Structure 1
Amino acid sequence: MTDRISDAVIADPKTKYGNAKASTRHFITQRVSGAINIVFVGFLAFIVLRLAGQDRPDMVATIGNAWIGLPLAALLVIVAIHMRNGMRDTLEDYFHGATYRLLMSLNTAFSLLIAVAGLAAILKLVFWG
C-alpha cells in the first residue's frame, strides 16, 4: 500500500489533510520569522561593516556590548526557527513515513544545536567578556 493520496480523496472538499491548526501555526511562523529576518538584515549589515578590518579584541568588545549582542542572539534564534521550518517544507515534499520522522528529528536536532551553540557563544561575550 502506498502513502499517495488518491484522486477521489483530493476531489472530496470535505477531506482533511493533516492538522489544520499546526499547519496554520507553521505558515504564520515561517512568514513572521522571514519578515523579522528582513528587518534584521540591516542590523546584521551594520555589524559586519563595523567589524570589517577589526582585530579580535575590537570584535569581542563590539559583540560583547549588550546593545549589539542581545539583538544578535535574538536574530540567531529567529534564524534557527526559520531554518527548521524551511527545511521542514522540503522534507514534507520529498519524504514520508518513518524516513520523514527520522529526517525531521535530525533537522530539529541540528537547528537546536546551531541555536544553542550560537547563543552560548554570544551570551558568553555579552555577560562574561
Structure 2
Amino acid sequence: MRETVISQATIANPKSHYGNAPASTRHFITQRVTGGFNVLFLGLLLYVVVALAGQDRSDMVALLGNAFVGLPLAALICIAAVHMRNGMRDVFEDYFAGRMYSLAMMLNTLFCLIVALAAAGALVKLVFWG
C-alpha cells in the first residue's frame, strides 16, 4: 500500500481537503465530551481521596464498596481510559506514520483497554462481592 504524500502547499491551500473529516470530527467531540465528564467526576475523585486519607484497608473497602461511590468511580476510570487513548492518538499522529502508527495505536488501545478493565473490574467486584 502506497502512502499519500501531502505537501506543504497542499496544507497551506484553504481549498484542499485531506484526511478523514468524519473521523476527525468524532475524535474532536469524543475528546471534549470525555474531558467534560472528567471535570464533572473530579469532585467525586477528590471526595474519595480526602475520605481515604489516613484510613486503613477495611475503611477503603467499605467506601469503595458503596455502590454510590464505586460504580461512578468505575465509570470515571472507563471514561478516563477513552480520554487517554484519544490523547495518545494525537501524539502518535505527530510522530508515527504507516505501519508504525498502526502498531502504536493497536498497543495504545490494548493498554487502555487492559487498564480500564482491570481497574473498573476491581471496583465492580468490591461493590457487588465485597
TM-score range normalised by the length of the shorter chain: over 0.9
After TM superposition, the structure 1 stretch with the greater mean CA deviation from structure 2, 79-88 or 28-37, is 28-37
Change beyond 3 A, Cα 1:11–1:52: closer
DSSP-derived class of the 1:17 partner: coil
How far did residue 11 of structure 1 move?
Answer: 4.1
TM-score, normalised to structure 1's length?
0.93
Counterpart in the other structure of 1:100: 101
Unaligned runs of 5+ in 1: none
Distance 1:88 1:2 in 2: 19
How far off is 1:12 after superposition? 3.9
Q: Secondary structure at the match of 1:121?
A: helix
Q: Which amino acid aligns with 2:98?
A: G
Q: Match for 1:98: what amino acid?
A: R
TM-score, normalisation: structure 2: 0.92
What's the counterpart of residue 32 of structure 1?
33
State the 1:10 CA deviation: 2.2
Give, in whole Å, the separation in 2 of the partners of 1:31 and 1:45: 21
Query: Could you tell me the percent identity over the aligned residues?
Result: 62
Q: Distance in 2 between matches of 1:37 and 1:95?
A: 28
Q: Secondary structure at the residue paired with 2:19? A: coil
CA offset digits 1:66-104 (Å, max 9, x no partner): 000000001000000000000000000111001000000
Mapping of 1:5-44 within 5 angstroms? Answer: 5-44=6-45
**Which ranges in structure 2 are unaligned for 5 or more consecutive residues?**
none
Once superposed, which parts of structure 1, at least 4 consecutive aligned residues long, lie more than 3 Å away?
1-4, 11-14
